[in-house]
Amino acid sequence: MGAGVEEGVVETLARLVGVNVTEVVRAAGGVVWRRRDERLEVLLVHRPRYDDWSVPKGKAEPGEKDEDCALREVAEETGLRCRLGAEIGTARYVDRHGRPKVVRFWAMEPIAGEFVPSEEVDQLRWVTPAAARDVLSYQRDAELVDALSGLIEQPGPRA
């Protein structure tokens, strides 16, 4: 359990909510970004099942490293193969089934691919970080976009 998850996060969350470590849902995703006309844009996905706007993410397969999960889930939801950048945050919450969930996120730059709508994700939207805050359904996703924006916009090595 916890392949690639920072030491103790899963165990601490499990203890706080009173479950076994094996009941903690591991997931990963990415904040996909690009520059368009010198502007930073991030990619948002619409999930019709929940009628929400989010960043791409999903559950890890047994034994799968978090980084591999993030790349796989972004590709599955968006059709884009991406280059993995810096880790930008971890979300910890209780999912709709009452299970504790730990989701790690990375900055990602697309390198190839094309979106095809599916039952899971029916729309994509490239927006500026400021616009993303107005569109995203969850505050935790807006905080990830802010973290990415701060990382990309600061001088020095990029994500």
Domains recognised in the chain with CATH numbers: 9-153 (3.90.79.10)
3-9 CB contacts, 8 Å cutoff, 24+ apart: 3/60, 3/63, 3/64, 3/65, 3/66, 4/65, 4/66, 4/67, 4/104, 5/66, 5/102, 5/104, 6/90, 9/90, 9/92, 9/102
- Helix, strand, coil abundance in the chain, percent, nearest 5: 30, 40, 30
pLDDT at 131: 98
Query: Residue 103 pLDDT more than 60?
Result: yes
| Predicted structure pTM score | 0.83
Find the mean pLDDT for residues 61-86.
98
pLDDT at 84: 98
Query: Residue 43 pLDDT more than 70?
Result: yes
Residues 6+ apart with CB under 8 A from 70: 28, 29, 30, 57, 84, 104, 105, 106, 108
**CA 55 to chain CA mean position, Å:** 5
Find the mean pLDDT for residues 107-133.
97
Find the mean pLDDT for residues 26-49.
97
